[in-house]
Structure 1
Amino acid sequence: MTALTAPRATETKGVDKVLLEAFDIQLSAGVVVYNGALVMTKAGYGRPAAAGVGFVCAGWAELSPSQPSVTGGATDGANFVGLSTNKLRVRAGCGWFNNSTSTDQILQANCSGNTLCYLADDNTVALTSNAGARSVAGVIVEIDSSGKKVLVSVSPQIPLNPALSTGTAFLGIGSIEAISAAGALSVNTEISTLAVTGTTAYTLANGLYIGQIKRAVVISGASTPVGTITPATPSGLATITTLTAKGSGVEFEWANPASPAWYLKAVFGGATVT
């Protein structure tokens, strides 16, 4: 299949359809999104889905017959061209999209309820990540009798199977990584457990989607431990310091679509903010 050049009607599950609440997102500069197109986000801004890594599939675009497509403004998050709004309505849930072909074709055997599919373009999903070159679209639910359509459960926070992940997608609520040395905390996991030895500096890259939560907590300390966390794009803070005692930690949220940044939600166990 190829990317959309016109609106499409995204069919849902019918009488058994499961839909999440629709929500609004802003777009990257200059991108064109058609009704029914799969939309992916990065750093808080949406764009039509395509092959690429580090993106989160937000859902599909819902536009009106009188406005079947929108074009992003001159800058990220600006009003759409010719319109007085910068909000695109996106819906997540179970929707039908085009199947791929050849080794990327999704078959009945893949409808196990926990098999992921990947974004090939803004109306097509694929069975494989193409060796890490595609982001996750969602979970395969079923295929139609022709084998050309796939019902995909799309959610911006689908808990992804780490064995299938490309390493650039969020691994799900409750996912954990263990950190025992200075360096970057992963944005792919919700929780980082820290074994702090001496003065240890950590960094935190930009979040993957608006509303992402990141927690870091000290589980052990040695040699007068002093841990610090410096987010790449913070709001209202520069660094979290005094991560010393077992149980001290911090919770961030990647928020504000107009100017995405890590916001501080909580510090605990003696951690401080500078």
Structure 2
Amino acid sequence: MAKNASGYAVPASTSAGLIAVGVAQEPVTNSGADGSKLVLVHPGVFPFANSSAGDQITVADLYKVCYLVDDQTVAKTSGSGSRSIAGIVIAIDSAGVHVLISPSIGAQAAAVPSIQAGTATLVAGTVTINTAALTATSRIFVTMKDPGAGALTAFADLDVPAANRTLGTPGSFVVNAINTSAAVIATAVSTFDWLVIG
């Protein structure tokens, strides 16, 4: 079980912003308003199904955090910021991945700003970057990595216009190569690194 941003218990799922609190000790169906039912939840160490491919948890991940996929499955990675922390990997055996789940683990993690990063290449001087989430307080950094073969006449900067940001989960932002007149340089095919904090 997890706590959502409104403070209510919800089944664990692939979603940013959840805090894993434990495992439900009884089935509860709430067909009424939020909070009209109570569910008994215990923290502790519990087995979960393992993810596969690049998200499969191995012995190399012991005592590291893992992430919620659904109410039965955990993964090695955050899925580019789309998953919340489940807890700490304690053991891996035939029963699955044994995870220490406690509200304090998730709450401490929630207090740390999310970080998303990547590399992109401009096409005709511009590119849209899709992110798992973007908020009004997200800080976006871009750094030129390779100017590329395209002409960068009167290059001034890599610009991230506030008007071209889509806030939400998922979100996106636009990066433009601009000249000293703040116009997009249509010949730019530069590669750059980007970083989003929060």
Name the TM tier (shorter chain).
0.5 to 0.7
Change (3 A) 1:162 1:58: closer
Equivalent position of 1:44 in the other structure: 7
Question: Can you give the 5+ residue segments of structure 2 that lack an aligned partner in the other structure?
Answer: 116-135, 138-198
Give the residue type in structure 2 aligned to 1:87. Answer: L
- Report what 2:34 is aligned to: 76
Q: Which has the higher contact order (CA 8 A, sep 6+)?
A: 2
**Deviation of 1:122 (Å):** 0.3
2:25 and 2:29 map into 1 onto residues whose CA distance is: 14
Unaligned runs of 5+ in 1: 1-38, 64-68, 79-85, 168-182, 185-274
Checking the alignment, whether the CA contact within 8 Å between 1:135 and 1:166 is kept in structure 2 is no
Instruction: State the shift of 1:70 in Å.
Output: 1.9
2:18 to 40, 48, 55: 55
SS in 1 for 2:35: coil
Give the secondary structure class of the aligned counterpart of 1:157: helix
Q: Give the 3 Å change call, closer, same or farther, for CA 70–161 of structure 1 in structure 2.
A: closer
In the TM superposition, what is the alpha-carbon distance from 1:73 to its structure 2 partner?
A: 2.8
Identity of aligned residues (%): 38
Q: Note closer, same or farther for the CA distance 1:122–1:156 as it changes in structure 2 (3 Å cut).
A: same
Kindly provide the CA deviation profile for residues 130-189 of structure 1, in whole angstroms up to 9, marking residues without a partner as x.
000000000111100x4x6101010111144988x736xxxxxxxxxxxxxxx98xxxxx
Amino acid at match of 2:40: R
Q: Does the 8 A contact of 1:129 with 1:166 survive in 2? A: no
**Per-residue CA shift, 1:205-235, capped at 9, x if unaligned?**
xxxxxxxxxxxxxxxxxxxxxxxxxxxxxxx
Alignment match, 2:40:
89
Q: Which amino acid aligns with 1:104?
A: D
2:79 aligns to what? 130
Instruction: Measure, in 2, the Cα distance between the counterparts of 1:142 and 1:103.
Output: 19
Picking from 129, 143, 154, the partner of 2:101 is: 154
Indicate if the aligned counterparts of 2:19 and 2:110 stay in contact, CA closer than 8 A: no
Structure number with the higher helix fraction is 2
Provide the C-alpha distance between the structure 2 equivalents of 1:47 and 1:161, rounded to a whole number of angstroms: 17
CA distance in 2, matches of 1:166, 1:150: 25
Alignment check: 8 A CA contact 1:139 1:152 kept = yes
Describe the SS at the equivalent of 1:152.
strand
Number of equivalenced pairs: 114
Deviations 1:93-147 (A, max 9, x none): 1111111111110001111x2x110000001000000000000000111100x4x
Q: Could you give the per-residue CA deviations for residues 49-96 of structure 1, whole angstroms, max 9, x where no partner exists? A: 000011100111001xxxxx2211321012xxxxxxx22100001111
* Correspondence 1:110 to 2:61: yes
Distance (Å, rounded) in 2 between the aligned partners of 1:41 and 1:161: 11
TM-score, normalised to structure 2, is: 0.53
Distance 2:91 2:53 in 1: 18
| CA distance in structure 1 between the partners assigned to 2:23 and 2:41 by the alignment | 5
